[in-house]
Chains A and B, each alone.
Chain A
């Protein structure tokens, strides 16, 4: 989003709001179309895209804007998922599946929104504690240390039997996630991260990323801006975890480990680090593409040719694609820039006029 001169600000307020409002209306129409007319399968994909948008956009806040390349965010997703699921699970199921739960937790059942918020807040609190030390580290050290955090979360999930059912499946979570509540959170996340990215605070984050020493000399507290971004990002990731838990309804610690980490990072990097619109584009492309690949993996018939199922092939193709993107377009599709519809329209109009002049 480009900066505008001050005198333009007030009278143009309507014009400035027009873009987001039009986009939101368009999104609402599309979602309503999907919710009303699309089949079950398409609806599920629409929900998955919404959840992935939250995951990737919030990861971008930390990894893209502040340059703190976290590999541990899926840990926050797990915290959000398990916390919220524990809070919404019906009492009867808790008695059967989790008989050793502390009494108060065994009797407590919350509705979806408060459970999701608590999941997000808990993820944020953990991010704050972990971040106090991690945000001081540099480059690759942060990545390794956050990976360490992911392992810690994994080990706790597998062993804290009375609360998480250990490595066994945590099942029976009520299917509260719908296209609507997922996409409201998704739109909120996109708006929040977008606004934050273009605020003074967002510029401070990027300054700290691009040149720490220069940013420090300008009086920017690099560690504080990193920590704030990290915490907010963890909150949204925790929320996404809750939405995912109430969408998939049964999961195990394995769901929140290396494979999921790699999926989210693929979408982020292919979309373009540091670009919110890039994140959204990356999510669309990769979610749809991997869905197609997953179907192909089950085997298919091409005319007379019968292709047998090869499980794992889709992951291999994704990995190859990822390396190709990093080699040939390391900045991703958007390359850190934002999609600016008005600038695009102006450019098209200019080109049109030029053609007319010729």
Chain B
């Protein structure tokens, strides 16, 4: 392969993995923006959606119907999470909320272990998702292109939603100032539920793409994606939607770059380098790339 082709190939890889991170990071960022809650359990929505999609396929449903069922299950699980665990904590300290989300994670993962056994199960995906398209000497996985396209559509839809619809505008208002939003008559509960629903729906979509990519599902599968989505949203600036998307693509690029540049003995340490970069970045931009520096008022 010529250097240009190699670059193009790696660029596609970076954008594809970045797209998955972006869809995850959006969900984290939306909820953090409004509630200042870092929802660690967001990763487990991936797991819930994937298992439901798997079950539906085992019951004989066609893939499209199973996928819809999986995404719906993620959404319902996200809404239930908000209602049961997070709503009683409205206004609590952000650390208390973070710890609660850890509990939700422990709860869901162990529930999955009890229900489905701790071992992984194969995740069947239709041929389209497993196809490889050859363009000249480039080999592009169909799944990568689908991930990029799906992310583009969803991100565009989200942009229109938060700019054009009443509830979207209310959501932005709530993330600027929850109290003021309430004062002008915004139904905060509805706004928060909507944020959870959208984030969970995207997590469900990521779950399908992720499971198809690795070909299996297991109860702890949400752990790594949510960590990466964290990094992405912190790089971009916690709570900022455009920041989360930018952070996600930066992270995708960084991972592919490290994969390519690290000497063979060190590629296994890639994730350690990723987090080291995160810590270094926070040193210079403590609020991420787009995060407004919050000045405390006295």
A interface list, Cβ under 8 A from B: 69, 130, 133-134, 136-141, 143-145, 147-149, 151-152, 155-156, 158-159, 212-213, 258-259, 262, 265, 269, 310-313, 315-316, 318-320, 322-323, 326-327, 330
Tell me, rounded to whole Å, the shortest Cβ–Cβ distance linking B85 to chain A: 6
Q: Which of B108-116, B142-150, B205-213 contacts A (4 or more CB under 8 A)?
A: B108-116
With a 10 A CB-CB cut-off, give which of B106, B234, B269, B298 has the most chain A CB atoms. B106
* Bound: A330/B91 CA distance, A: 12
> Contact between B102 and A262 (Cβ–Cβ < 8 Å)?
yes
* Bound: A269/B96 CA distance, A: 9
* Bound: A34/B107 CA distance, A: 35
Instruction: Please list the 6 inter-chain residue pairs (A to B) with the smallest Cβ-Cβ separation, ordered nearest first.
Output: A148-B275, A312-B110, A155-B272, A319-B103, A319-B106, A319-B107
Tell me, rounded to whole Å, the shortest Cβ–Cβ distance linking A210 to chain B: 12
Which residue from A133, A212, A322, A326 sits with its C-beta under 8 Å from B279?
A133
**Chain A residue with Cβ nearest B275:** A148
Given known contacts A152-B276, A326-B96, is B296 in contact with A310 (CB within 8 Å)?
no
> Contact between B110 and A313 (Cβ–Cβ < 8 Å)?
yes
Pull 20 A–B residue pairs with CB atoms less than 8 Å apart, ordered by A.
A130-B279, A134-B279, A136-B283, A136-B286, A137-B282, A139-B94, A143-B98, A145-B234, A148-B279, A156-B269, A213-B298, A262-B106, A265-B99, A311-B114, A315-B106, A315-B107, A316-B107, A319-B103, A326-B99, A330-B93
**Chain A residue with Cβ nearest B267:** A159
> Contact between A141 and B283 (Cβ–Cβ < 8 Å)?
no
> Contact between B89 and A326 (Cβ–Cβ < 8 Å)?
yes
Map CB proximity to A onto B80-109 as digits: 1 under 8 Å, 0 otherwise: 000001001100111110111011101100
Given known contacts A156-B272, A213-B298, A323-B100, is B110 in contact with A315 (CB within 8 Å)?
yes
B interface list, Cβ under 8 A from A: 32, 36, 38, 85, 88-89, 92-96, 98-100, 102-104, 106-107, 110-111, 113-114, 223, 227, 230-231, 234, 238, 268-269, 271-272, 275-276, 278-280, 282-283, 286-287, 296, 298
How many inter-chain residue pairs (CB < 8 Å) link A and B?
Answer: 118
With a 10 A CB-CB cut-off, give which of B38, B88, B271, B279 has the most chain A CB atoms. B279
Which residues of chain A are within 8 angstroms of B99 by Cβ–Cβ distance? 265, 269, 322, 326
Which residues of chain B are within 8 angstroms of A69 by Cβ–Cβ distance? 95, 98
Given known contacts A145-B279, A326-B99, is B114 in contact with A213 (CB within 8 Å)?
no
Which residues of chain A are within 8 angstroms of B280 by Cβ–Cβ distance? 133
* Bound: A152/B93 CA distance, A: 27
Which residues of chain A are within 8 angstroms of B278 by Cβ–Cβ distance? 145, 148
Which residues of chain A are within 8 angstroms of B95 by Cβ–Cβ distance? 69, 139-140, 143
With a 10 A CB-CB cut-off, give which of B92, B103, B111, B280 has the most chain A CB atoms. B103
**Chain A residue with Cβ nearest B92:** A330
